[in-house]
A = this chain, B = another copy of it.
Amino acid sequence: MKKLINDVDTVVADALRGMEAALSDRLRFDHENKVILRKDAPKQGKVGLVSGGGSGHEPMHGGFVGLGMLDAACAGEVFTSPVPDQMMAATAAVDGGAGVLHIVKNYTGDVMNFDMAAEMVAEAEGVRVESIVTNDDVAVQDSLYTAGRRGVGVTVLLEKIVGAAAEQGRDLDALLELAKKVNGGGRSMGVALTSCTVPSAGEPTFSLEEDEMELGIGIHGEPGRERVKLGSAREVAGMLVEAILADLDFTGSPVIAFVNGLGATPLLEQYLMYGEIARILEGNGITIARNLVGSYMTSLDMAGLSVTLLQADDDIVKLWDAPVNTPGLRWGC
């Protein structure tokens, strides 16, 4: 295993210290609880947005803390859910009297721990907490660590869109409704060309032949739909988009199209793939209102990418365009 780390047991703690050294002008770090917070949290009267999950997907979620996105993110160990204590600390810290929304990717540990934390913090501190569980991955129904579909790329888009709405002062009920709309109108599908290597495991999670890819890969290296021969960019784009379009009709409204690198796939290939995907969508009569291309939700050093499409009405497009100022996503301010 080749990694720039000191000790497999302190990877996340050490990385958080490094993040603090780089970003302490705008973010605050609760190292005891491994929570990353906006410096100005809590904001009175604003709904607090909290997410989190296993580390190894950076910049998600810690890199999305800031104006127009999250108020706090809980960092679990690599590919391991944070514990309820972390989520309680984050939730209590960002409550400005208007309640807190938990943004949770659908993995069994995350869902269970966020649920437990929501109950306990409601009871102990009187904070009203609601949760949205994202489950946009069309690849498989159940999976390792998941009952139902996995939450993937839509989570990034949801944090941006609901974050903008929270900044406008919308209340918890309105944000929950918006979050449900975003999750309901978003679908994703990914492909891996190589495995990632989890530091504590020390070796690749799975292996693929030199001419194989895993279609429908999970962001922790969980199995997808099938192993198939590596195709051309055009063929791979076709497989990913086809799986998404077979699941939801995207002809009714413009979409936000998101091509996400999983870690080791160069931006050159990501843009090349975006070109193929845009061409296929156009051929299917689908209008792209906005797009995002880059490595925003990664799987350590995995080569591959995922595609997310999101139905984007006028409200969602306006919220997408609203200012955002986080380490991982920044525009308009």
Binding site for B on A (CB under 8 A): 2-7, 11-12, 14-22, 55-56, 58-59, 63, 78, 193-194, 210, 213, 230, 232-234, 236, 263-276, 278-279, 291, 293, 295, 298, 300-301, 303, 305, 325, 330-331
With beta carbons under 8 angstroms apart, the residue of B17, B59, B269, B301 that contacts A303 is B301
State whether A266 and B6 are in contact (beta carbons under 8 Å apart), knowing that A14-B275, A22-B291, A330-B330 are contacts in the complex: no
Give the 10 A-B residue pairs with the shortest CB-CB distance, closest first: A18-B275, A264-B264, A18-B271, A58-B267, A21-B278, A2-B193, A15-B272, A4-B269, A18-B274, A17-B275
Which of B16, B59, B233, B267 interacts with A6 by CB under 8 Å? B233
The complex is assembled from copies of this chain, and their number is 2
In the complex, A187→B177 CA distance in Å?
51
The residue from B4, B213, B270, B291 contacting A193, defined by CB atoms under 8 A apart: B4
Q: Is the interface of A mostly helix, strand, loop or mixed?
A: mixed
Chain B residues near A325 (CB-CB < 8 A)? 331
| Nearest opposing residue in chain B for A298, CB measure | B266
A199 CB to nearest chain B CB (Å): 9
Assembled-state Cα–Cα distance A62/B300 (Å): 26
Centre residue among A6, A272, A273, A278 by max chain B CB count within 10 A: A272
Give the distance to chain B from A26, nearest Cβ to Cβ, in Å: 11
**Distance (whole angstroms) from the CB of A22 to the closest CB of chain B:** 5
B266 close to A58 (CB less than 8 A): yes
Q: Are B21 and A274 in contact (CB under 8 A)?
A: yes
Asked whether B263 lies within 8 Å of A266 as measured between CB atoms, the reply is yes
A22: chain B residues within 8 A (beta carbon): 271, 274-275, 278, 291, 293
* Cross-interface CB contact of A267 among B11, B59, B234, B267, cutoff 8 Å: B59
Question: In the assembled complex, how far is the CB of residue A262 from the closest CB belonging to chain B, in whole angstroms?
Answer: 10
- How far is the CB of A308 from the nearest CB of chain B, in Å? 14
A6 partner residues in chain B, CB cutoff 8 A: 232-234, 272, 276
- 4 additional contacts (CB under 8 A) given A14-B233, A58-B267, A58-B268: A18-B278, A19-B274, A21-B279, A63-B267
- What is the bound-complex CA distance between A230 and B7, given in angstroms? 13
Q: Which residues of B contact A58 (CB under 8 A)?
A: 266-268, 271
Do B301 and A4 touch (CB < 8 A)?
A: no
Q: Separation in Å of the A79 CB from the closest CB of chain B? A: 11
- Asked if residues A305 and B4 are in contact (CB atoms below 8 Å), the reply is yes
| Measured CA separation A303–B11 after assembly (Å) | 17
By beta carbon, the residue of chain B nearest A58 is B267
**Contact of A210 (CB < 8 Å), options: B2, B7, B19:** B2
